[in-house]
Structure 1
């Protein structure tokens, strides 16, 4: 019997996987424990992965993983995702956001609406036509509901001629994580 995996992060990976080629570049805008970065690495054998986190603990933990596994195509950036364009100027095929706080870390250090919206705006500019942005949104922690509302409003205002957007959420769970997907339409390129 077929079973649907109803987890925002797994759905995000399945969607991103469908657009990546092994020589593409991608961004994990919220490294955390590294799950999305590991996923991106598994798909980008000849590509690059840029991984951002404001917490040095997350960067240090993943650096150990890279050393142990002899990984060289990940660029760890100990800075907020709102500074994406400070570090990346080349186009990318996917950007993954997993909002909230670092599991097992300080729950008071959370993603914030203003920095996330800035990161999304810049990510849209860096995204290649046909590229995907996924946003796993968590509203059940302090500050999460405010960030979720800001993101929903931002995504709702995107030009449908330029971007296709969708939200996947549970209708019977109020604070369950949900997924937002933004695809840059193939016929639109801000870089031209």
Structure 2
């Protein structure tokens, strides 16, 4: 049977937390895989906010979701950095978000020089924790195999390891015997903070 891929693992973790009508955030919209998954999971009565700094990514997401019948009425595609998510979200949403998903790196098929970077990613992680409700989940798929990816992955792990144990649980899911620095997932659960 085998283990699930890192993206499937992130989706599985989030699907155990999200319910129809919930609010979720795709912090790095990219090709829209996570946005589509979140839309399907929260359903027509839910809300999804998807962030990306590239209009091309948001255009891809919109095109992908045109073909999906169960897009929430409250789908918001935001041409902004994930580091701005707390400021970009309506005040009443903050503290009520069930899941925030990150898929770091670069836009597949896009400019490989436009990548997520720790100077915005770590503040975005902190913003994500601040908007999550108790029991909410942050997932981040990390890609150490591209230029700049190893540094970002290392700093992401250090960030997760430094979270107060009383307030958060953090796990790492990775394949230990794959070559070429494969992607892996960090997942953080917010406790009753």
TM-score (norm 1): 0.92
Distance 1:85 1:160 in 2: 23
Partner of 1:51: 50
Q: For residues 40-87 of structure 1, what are the alpha-carbon distances to aligned partners after superposition, in whole Å with 9 as ceiling and x for unaligned?
A: 111111110000010110112222344455743210001110110121
The equivalent position to 1:168 in structure 2, one of 155, 173, 177, is 173
Q: State the alpha-carbon separation in 2 of the partners of residues 73 and 146 from structure 1.
A: 35
State the match for 1:139 in structure 2: 144
- Decide which moves more: 56-65 or 13-22: 56-65
Following TM superposition, by how much is the alpha carbon of 1:114 offset from its aligned partner in structure 2, in angstroms? 1.3
Deviation string, structure 1 residues 22-56 (Cα, Å, up to 9, x no partner): 01100000100000011011111111000001011
Gaps of 5+ in 2: none
Counterparts of 2:159 and 2:46, CA distance in 1 = 30
Indicate yes or no: 2:66 matched with 1:63: no
Structure-2-length-normalised TM-score: 0.91
Match of 2:2 among 1, 4, 7: 4
User: Which runs of structure 2 are paired with 1:1-192 in the superposition (5 Å)?
Assistant: 3-45=1-43, 46-67=45-66, 69=68, 71=71, 72-88=73-89, 89=91, 90=93, 91-173=96-178, 175-185=181-191, 188-189=192-193
Instruction: Show CA shifts across 1:128-173 (max 9, x none).
Output: 0111110100000000011011111111000000001100111112
| Partner Cα separation in structure 1 for residue 162 and residue 48 of structure 2 | 29
Give the direction of change, closer, same or farther, for the CA distance of 1:116–1:172 in structure 2 (3 Å limit): same
Aligned-partner Cα distance in 2 for 1:66–1:108: 26
Q: Give ranges in structure 1 of 5+ residues lacking alignment.
A: none
Deviations 1:96-152 (A, max 9, x none): 000000011111100001100000001001000111110100000000011011111
Structure 2 CA distance for aligned equivalents of residues 111 and 145 of structure 1? 12
Cα RMSD (Å) of the superposition? 1.4
